[in-house]
Amino acid sequence: MPKAEPLIRQRDELPNDVLVEIKVWRLPKADPERPHGLKYSLYCGQNGKRLVGYDNERGKGDHRHLGHKEEAYRFVTLDQLLEDFHADVRAVLRSNKNE
């Protein structure tokens, strides 16, 4: 059985103990849960606490985490996913700076 092919694996350590990790794989074939044919895990955390997360684990579909809130995410394209994630990360880091 073919395995998922890694597309993106990126890890950035930012100031103030902020970690941003992006992992994206192309699946051997799309399925009803992942019709776009991708598996992904996008994470931004600080001191071990998740601030922003986007993923599509089995049974949950495409969704995002903003702090303690979890909500469905409408996947359009990989580029849009990355853009949305980075926009949320910027917004959260900006708001944390102002607290």
- Pick out the chain residues at pLDDT < 70: 1, 98-99
* Cα–Cα dist 94/56, whole Å: 26
Q: Which residues neighbour 43 within 8 Å (Cβ) at sequence distance 6 or greater?
A: 19, 20, 21, 22, 50, 52, 53
Q: Which residues neighbour 77 within 8 Å (Cβ) at sequence distance 6 or greater?
A: none
pTM of the predicted model as reported, rounded to 2 decimal places = 0.92
Tally of structural domains, the chain: 1
Q: What domain range includes position 12?
A: 5-97
Instruction: Assess contact for 55 and 63: CB atoms under 8 A.
Output: yes
* Cα–Cα dist 63/56, whole Å: 6
For position 96, what pLDDT does the model report? 79
